[in-house]
Structure 1
């Protein structure tokens, strides 16, 4: 019974704490109420270069992990013989 009560309290806490991080969507065109405007919602931030950096770092990490895995397993890939 105590375990069910603790799980229930934890679930309720997590549910209500998730609502603390919700926000209303930003107004269109950065708050201006006039019609038109070329600025998209979010400011039109360029993320092209950041994605290239993220992919480069991810590939580098994968190569290092693969190299360390080969060194640890001596390149045998878990042969059962």
Structure 2
């Protein structure tokens, strides 16, 4: 079971879950989801950002729609012998 930091309560975890589902949700929408008013919700989000729990907000792009069908990784193994 993951180690849950005691500084983060159930509302913080609900906010994090909601942000993972929709990183573009407004503070008002998030506040409604976690049953807070906008100001305390914004403060909690700011605290999570300041604590480094929220590292940023990103756009997930569709490789297929961009024309990238396959992603590959290549590497080399060196067999140095004395």
TM bin (shorter chain) = under 0.3
Larger radius of gyration: 1
Structure that is richer in helix per residue:
1
Higher RCO (C-alpha under 8 Å, 6+ residues apart): 2
